[in-house]
Amino acid sequence: MLRTIREYVDMQAAQRPDDVYLIAPEANRSMTFAGLQQASRLLGRHLADRGIKPGDKVALLMHNGYQTCRLFIGVMYGGFCVTPLNLLAQPSQLEYVLEHSDAGIVFVSSDQVERINAALAGLKRAVQVVVCDVDAEEFLPAVQGISALPPVGEEDDALMMYTSGTTGKPKGVVLANRSVVSGGQFVSAAHALGPEDRVLASLPLYHINAQIVTATAPLVHGGSVVLPHRFGVSGFWDTVAKYRCTWINVVPTIISYLLNGPDPAEKNLDVSAVRFCRSASAPLPPNQHRAFEAKFRIGVIETMGLTETAAPCFTNPLDLALRKIGSPGQGFGNEAMIADLAGNPLPPGETGEIMVRGPNVMKGYYKNPEETAKAFTPDGWLHTGDLGHLDQDGFVFVTGRIKELIIKGGENIAPREIDEALLKHPAVLEGAAVGIPDEFYGQELMVCVVLKPGAQCTENQLREFCKIELGAFKTPKVYRFVDELPKGPSGKVQRLKLLDAPAGGDGRP
């Protein structure tokens, strides 16, 4: 079993040198496995020529594109640690990450130069900046005097991703080569993927899902990835049809937008090559799951993963007859259990913290031994921070985050239950619940609601609807109509930021 990115690039370049690995639609350019190997070797030598040492952090601040993917894979191939930066981050956040990560060099797309200069202005050390076009065919200069790259081991750092930092400073999640390739192996095995498979990437390469599921997995199974600059509803199915994608990788937010977008059948688009749709990064509401399958006639495989687990740690079976809607599936490639507050395993049906252990799990948090120690049990189980339970068949059912659990009058209320009830209302596009202080109950429920375009709904109408769906006790007290929900790069709602949502009126068209 191969355990490093370099081994996989070299293997695919040897076995299928002329097969396409990457397609960049906007650039109208593709890259073979042999081309990926050549570019990766050149990048490694280029970085070494610039004084970057094995294991050093190499930052990327670039939107999706031909060069972005080459850099992402090439940095790891060369024995360095790639550190993608969130394009949504503020300069102060970028400054913190660049300082904390010890990155010696950052590759920046031309539209990000002003932001990176603002972030670097406050740094106490020098950072090399390389500006490049994400769709350029080549940008690296010739390398002088360097002939060989250092060896790479499975425990060598390959990828470092920073958490969102909603409850404090972002933490740098360090993933070894074995973690990154394990994630790609799990995706490939769980979905029976092979060289004939092609995925449409919908997420940015600064998110762990895109990095592992759509960039690393095809490298493992010898398939290919179509990497547009960004997700767009209007052209989504056109791209799927044009490049004959065999699977699509999305998040629930994208499913929601696609449900309110065009049907490919109405545009006479042939999407029959698509075997399945993979959904991850946030729980998929069952009603949207069923609606997607009914509208597009494509089965949805719900999964779950974390940055700390190199994306996948749970998946439903590929056979739709064996899946369970409402669950992200069973542990795959790693062990899973539900534990009480003391870390003791709980039997099926009892709610506790979801724990995982396996080769995909992170090494730890960069320069943060205290948080690393708190993240693991003495015998190596990772605290996910998610609440849930297992059924008799080993399927996990997630009820929420421990920190987001709403406790009203001593009763635990999972925000997801409220979210799913809101989505049943015909006027609601998105909805999310959060706990707010209450003098009588300790906590009450507030919901933020995004209405469908052109839809109308008043607060009183939504309140009466929730009473029927949830009962009086779980019916939210406060309703805010907003234009959009605060989300991270994967589309996952950042609930704690809902507390800062502007107060809405009594519904709006």
Domain with 363 in it: what CATH number?
A: 3.40.50.12780
CATH number for 489: 3.30.300.30
* C-alpha torsion sign, points 435, 437, 438, 442: positive
Q: Distance between CA 490 and CA 233 in Å, rounded?
A: 16
State whether residue 228 is helix, strand or coil.
coil
467 and 441 housed in the same domain = yes
Longest dimension (CA), the chain: 74
Domain count, the chain: 2
pLDDT score at 339: 96
487 and 341 housed in the same domain = no
Domain end (from 390, 423, 455): 390
334 and 479 housed in the same domain = no
Q: Range of 462's domain?
A: 405-500
pTM of the model: 0.86
Q: Distance between CA 210 and CA 82 in Å, rounded?
A: 14
State whether residue 481 is helix, strand or coil.
strand
386 and 411 housed in the same domain = no
432 and 331 housed in the same domain = no
pLDDT score at 490: 63
Half-sphere exposure in the Cβ direction for 130 (13 Å, CA)? 21
222 and 331 housed in the same domain = yes
386 and 429 housed in the same domain = no
Query: From first to last of its 509 residues, what are the pLDDT tens digits of the chain?
Result: 899 999 999 999 999 999 999 999 999 999 999 999 999 999 999 999 899 999 999 999 999 999 999 999 999 999 999 999 999 888 888 999 999 999 999 999 999 999 999 999 989 899 999 999 999 888 776 666 666 899 999 999 999 999 865 556 889 999 999 999 999 999 999 999 999 999 999 999 999 999 999 999 999 999 999 999 999 999 999 999 999 999 999 998 899 899 999 999 999 999 999 999 999 988 888 999 999 999 999 999 999 999 999 999 999 999 999 999 999 999 999 999 999 988 899 999 999 999 999 999 999 999 999 999 999 999 999 999 999 999 999 999 998 888 888 888 777 788 888 999 999 999 999 999 999 988 878 899 999 999 999 999 999 999 999 999 999 999 999 999 999 999 876 677 888 889 887 655 455 44
Whether 507 is covered by a domain: the verdict is no
List all residues 6 or more positions away from 329 whose beta carbon is below 8 Å from its beta carbon. 301, 302, 303, 304, 314, 315, 316, 317, 323, 395, 396
What angle (nearest 5°) sits at the alpha carbon of residue 105, between those of residues 100 and 108?
105
266 and 215 housed in the same domain = yes
Whether 509 is covered by a domain: the verdict is no
pLDDT score at 285: 87
Whether 311 is covered by a domain: the verdict is yes
